Amino acid sequence: MKIYTDKRLLSCGLIGGTLSRHSGNMREIANQIPVYKELGLNPQHILHFHQIHSDTIISISSPQGAQEISQKPVQDADAWLLSPFPSNWGAAIVTADCVPLFLWDDTGSYAALAHCGWRGVVQGLPGKTARELLQVTPRLHLNAWLGPHIQACCFEVQEDVAKQFSADALIHKNGKIFVDLNFEIKRQLTQADVPEKNIQTPYYCTCGDKENFFSWRRDHEKNLLLSFLYKP
Ligand SMILES: [Zn+2]
């Protein structure tokens, strides 16, 4: 199993990251279960939602709350707020080009996992998620990691999409327009008071790296990568 992750998650007491395509298509929850088992995580304690490219956040603040959500039919949303993060629970999202955004504090007690497609980004989902997390205690020291997603090298857009971003998130090259999602998400996070030095944006391009990732843009297939965040 190949997991892209940020070492800071583990040092803050959390397990999480994004799996490479070698683990298979993670669209169905049933396909995710062997992964959780292999990692020693309880599959029944991993929360799922139905992603709709919105700015809707589901907030979990207790083991009881997590239990309730896990027993209800899946809801429409694009971000999990785990605040405080109940032990022995976790949350999952699936992506193929969209950004898996991880946010957490130094103690691993407050965290969020968001599915940020370009539509979620222009609706301000990254900033909104960070602000909601900081509402608990404005003195939280937040960290952020952006998992594998489509990078500016491949994210060419037409004018209709480009005009929804600010000019400095766009790259013009050979008459084409590309969107830099890292730039825009980093801007939203810093505006929400996440220190810039705590935001890691490694350059893993789902579209450009066929060996490791699924990409909607490249393949137009319904294969999805799994990202998860779990507090042991
Ligand atoms: Zn690329």
Spans of all domains in the chain: 3-150+182-231
What's the Cα-to-Cα distance from 71 to each of 53, 60, 226, rounded to whole Å? 23, 14, 21
Spacing, Cα 156 to ligand 1 middle (Å)? 10
Q: How far is CA 82 from CA 17, 63, 107, 158, in A?
A: 16, 10, 13, 36
Using one digit for the tens of pLDDT, what is the confidence trace for 90-108?
A: 999 999 999 999 999 999 9
pLDDT of residue 176: 98
Residue 220: predicted pLDDT:
96
Is the model's pLDDT at 11 over the cut of 90? yes
The model's pTM is 0.98
Q: How far is the CA of 210 from the centre of ligand 1 (A)?
A: 10
| Cβ neighbours for 189, distance < 8 A, ≥ 6 positions apart | 103, 126, 127, 130, 144, 199
CA of 150 to the centre of ligand 1 (A): 6
Centre of ligand 1 to C-alpha 78, Å, is 24
3-150+182-231: what fold? CNF1/YfiH-like putative cysteine hydrolases (3.60.140)
pLDDT digits (tens, 9 = 90+) for 35-87: 999 999 999 999 999 999 999 999 999 999 999 999 999 999 999 999 999 99
Give the distance (Å) from ligand 1 centre to CA of residue 225.
16
Read off the pLDDT of each residue in 5-18 and give the average, rounded to a whole number: 98
Residue 144 CA to ligand 1 centre (angstroms):
21
Q: How far is the CA of 201 from the centre of ligand 1 (A)?
A: 14
Q: How confident is the model at residue 140 (pLDDT cuts 50, 70, 90)?
A: confident
For residue 204, how far is its CA from the centre of ligand 1 (angstroms)? 8
Q: How far is the CA of 217 from the centre of ligand 1 (A)?
A: 10
Cβ pair 214, 206 in contact under 8 A: yes
